[in-house]
């Protein structure tokens, strides 16, 4: 997959591009990642990319022309890559990171990872001139309901979530396993050596050496924690007899330890 990012702060992307699963995906060629700075497309002496909002009010708005030029440069970059690699061409969808967008979910990350290319547009200040959205944006994404100072961190979140899903990336095997294995549940607790730390022992089931005992314990924990912490994830679930029994066991074993006031 190829991802172009339109941003006033390309230097912020160094860490994500060089380290971890994304870094590996870039180095092995599974992921192409290119940065496009609207400031490089500003035409005045001061390389201006923002201006005051019509109608007044606080803050600044990113101007149309430098943004459209940077998006066009990104589209041209993708066309070059697609032609050289014999990949399906056609414009890459432009995804604007904005608090007004739909929330990023694992399903949306998967849909993005299925694309040959995408252009992520990271806003700064109060956001981009709405005509950019009208003329060049295909989809708007948020990463959740809290206030950040720009779209760069959200764009990096999207890149990380997508990169680990790409065939041939290091996270790909793990992500395929977790989808079949934990099927929408929260993770179970993890332990490593030593057997006792801070006066707390590793659960005996994990030391039993019995794969079936370990598997049942982990599944019970995953079901119980999901029930306690994120019950909405269990709505509409198809329950197997074993899962039902494991959750009942978890609840009876933890009765009186859930912090509830009685």
CA distances from 104 to 39, 146, 148, 241 (A): 28, 13, 15, 33
**Identified binder of ligand 9D3 from the candidate list 11, 18, 114, 126, rule CB under 6 A:** 126
Q: What is the 3-state secondary structure (H, E, C) of 31-59?
A: CEEEEECHHHHCCCCCCCCEECCCCCCCC
Q: Shortest distance, CB of residue 147 to ligand 9D3, whole angstroms?
A: 5
**Nearer to ligand 9D3 (CB atom), residue 30 or residue 35:** 35
Should residue 55 be labelled a site residue for ligand 9D3 when binding is judged by CB under 6 A? no
Within a 10 A sphere around the Cβ of 58, how many other Cβ atoms? 8
Should residue 38 be labelled a site residue for ligand 9D3 when binding is judged by CB under 6 A? no
From residue 132 to residue 171, the character string flagging contacts with ligand 9D3 as x (rule: CB under 6 A) and all else as - is ----------xxx-xxxxxx--x-----------------
* Beta-bridge mates of residue 200: 197
Continuous segment of H or E residues that includes residue 102: strand 94-103
Question: Residues 56, 58, 59, 64: what is their CA dihedral angle, to the nearest 10 degrees?
Answer: -20
Q: Shortest distance, CB of residue 7 to ligand 9D3, whole angstroms?
A: 11
Q: Shortest distance, CB of residue 189 to ligand 9D3, whole angstroms?
A: 29
Only one of the segments 36-44, 119-127, 220-228, 232-240 lies at the binding site for ligand 9D3 (rule: CB under 6 A); that segment is 119-127
Within a 10 A sphere around the Cβ of 197, how many other Cβ atoms? 11
Only one of the segments 48-56, 123-131, 170-178, 233-241 lies at the binding site for ligand 9D3 (rule: CB under 6 A); that segment is 123-131
**Identified binder of ligand 9D3 from the candidate list 98, 172, 175, 226, rule CB under 6 A:** 98
Q: How far apart are CA 105 and CA 111, in angstroms?
A: 10
Q: Shortest distance, CB of residue 230 to ligand 9D3, whole angstroms?
A: 20
Q: Of 200, 202, 231, 205, give the one whose Cα is nearest residue 218.
A: 205
Residue 229 CB contacts under 8 Å (≥ 6 apart), including other chains: 186
Should residue 20 be labelled a site residue for ligand 9D3 when binding is judged by CB under 6 A? no
Residues binding ligand 9D3 (CB under 6 A):
97-99, 123, 126-127, 142-144, 146-151, 154
């Amino acid at each position: 997959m190829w991802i172009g990012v339109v941003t006033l702060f390309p230097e912020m992307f160094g860490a994500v591009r060089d380290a971890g699963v994304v870094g590996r995906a870039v180095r092995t060629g599974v992921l192409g990642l290119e940065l496009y700075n609207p400031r490089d497309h500003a035409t005045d002496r001061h390389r201006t990319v923002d201006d005051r909002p019509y109608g007044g009010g606080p803050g600044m708005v990113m101007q149309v022309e430098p943004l459209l030029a940077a998006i066009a440069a990104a589209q041209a970059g993708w066309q070059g890559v697609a032609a050289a690699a014999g990949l399906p061409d056609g414009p890459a969808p432009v995804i604007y990171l904005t608090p007004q967008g739909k929330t990023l979910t694992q399903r949306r990350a998967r849909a993005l990872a299925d694309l040959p290319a995408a252009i992520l547009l990271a806003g700064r200040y109060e956001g981009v001139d709405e005509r950019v959205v009208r003329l060049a944006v295909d989809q708007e994404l948020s990463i959740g309901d809290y206030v950040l100072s720009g779209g760069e961190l959200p764009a990096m979140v999207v890149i990380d979530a997508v990169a680990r899903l790409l065939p041939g990336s290091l996270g790909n095997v793990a992500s395929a396993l977790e989808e079949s294995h934990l099927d929408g549940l929260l993770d179970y607790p993890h332990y490593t050596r030593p057997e006792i730390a801070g006066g707390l022992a590793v659960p005996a089931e994990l030391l039993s050496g019995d794969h079936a005992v370990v598997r049942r314990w982990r599944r019970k924990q995953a079901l119980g924690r999901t029930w306690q912490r994120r019950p909405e994830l269990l709505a509409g679930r198809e329950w197997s007899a074993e899962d039902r029994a494991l959750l009942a066991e978890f609840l009876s074993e933890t009765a009186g330890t859930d912090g509830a006031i009685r």
